[in-house]
């Protein structure tokens, strides 16, 4: 795979990871509100400090999930748009994703491997990495549809080579 392919895959995976964390945050907050607020209000003897404690826990969970959601989204955007700050944001996102076993850790290892291995110069200079090697079946740039490929194959001279005879093992 070329560095462009790795960059695209890692960018998409960062977006998926950040979107997943955002979705979990959007599910978790209404869950807390729907199930905990009626419990707190059902007992008149609940001290007001309990409501403050519960609110502090909700804010902490929201902030933690936000910290885990925003860097991967920014890293995915930057990598797909090939921004100069994409490598820095991706390394930050990878360090935060490494906390989440096993998928976050796998994405973190893949991101760090790419940024400090084969793609270490990818975001540094221009984006003129060598193009991917052409597939052997395409002879020119216009041969992408089936009709053109079939016409090119029918005009090609066919040379028949008979199969090699198997050895005589009977004696």
Q: What is the pLDDT of residues 94-153, one digit of tens each?
A: 999 999 889 999 999 999 999 888 877 777 665 445 555 555 555 555 545 777 777 777
**pLDDT value at position 54?**
82
On the question of pLDDT at 76 being above 90, the answer is yes
Residue 82 backbone zone (phi > 0: left; psi -120 to 50: alpha; other: beta): left
Distance CA 156, CA 145 (A): 17
Q: What mean pLDDT is predicted for residues 6-20?
A: 93
- pTM, two decimal places: 0.66
Could you please report the per-residue DSSP string of 68-116? HHHHHHHHHHHHHHT-TTHHHHHHHHHHHHTTSTTHHHHHHHHHHHHHH
37-56 core/surface letters (b: 16 or more CB in 10 A; e: else):
eeeeeeeeeeeeeeeeebee
Query: What's the pLDDT score for residue 143?
Result: 47
Of 125 and 73, more confident: 73
Position 111 scores a pLDDT of 93
Q: Which DSSP category does 120 fall into? A: T
Ordered by start, the domain boundaries in the chain are 3-116
pLDDT at 107: 93
Backbone angle region of 130, left / alpha / beta, with phi > 0 → left and psi within -120 to 50 → alpha: beta
CA distances from 14 to 10, 40, 45, 94 (A): 6, 38, 46, 9
* pLDDT value of residue 142: 52
Sign of CA dihedral 32, 24, 78, 101: positive
* Token pair in block for residue 45: 């003897």
Q: What is the pLDDT of residue 89?
A: 94
Of 154 and 62, the structure prediction assigns the larger pLDDT to 62
Q: What is the pLDDT of residues 21-72, one digit of tens each?
A: 999 999 988 888 887 777 767 777 777 787 788 888 888 988 999 999 999 9
Which of 73, 61, 65 shows the shortest CA–CA distance to 15? 73
Measure the CA–CA gap between 79 and 85, rounded to whole angstroms.
9
- What average pLDDT does range 7-26 have in this prediction? 93
């Amino acid at each position: 795979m070329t560095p462009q392919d790795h960059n695209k895959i890692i960018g998409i995976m960062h977006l998926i990871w950040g979107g997943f964390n955002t979705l979990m945050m959007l599910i978790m907050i209404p869950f807390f509100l729907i199930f905990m607020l009626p419990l707190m209000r059902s007992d008149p003897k609940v001290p007001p400090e309990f409501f403050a404690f519960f609110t502090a826990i909700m804010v902490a969970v929201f902030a933690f999930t936000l910290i885990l959601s925003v860097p991967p989204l920014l890293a995915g955007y930057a990598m797909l748009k090939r921004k100069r700050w994409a490598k820095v944001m991706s390394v930050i996102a990878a360090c935060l994703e490494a906390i989440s076993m096993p998928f976050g850790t796998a994405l973190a290892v893949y991101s760090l491997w790419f940024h400090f291995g084969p793609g270490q110069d990818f975001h540094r200079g221009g984006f003129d990495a060598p193009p991917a090697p052409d597939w052997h079946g395409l002879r020119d740039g216009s041969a992408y549809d089936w009709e053109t490929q079939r016409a090119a194959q029918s005009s090609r001279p066919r040379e028949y080579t008979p199969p090699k005879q198997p050895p005589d093992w009977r004696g």
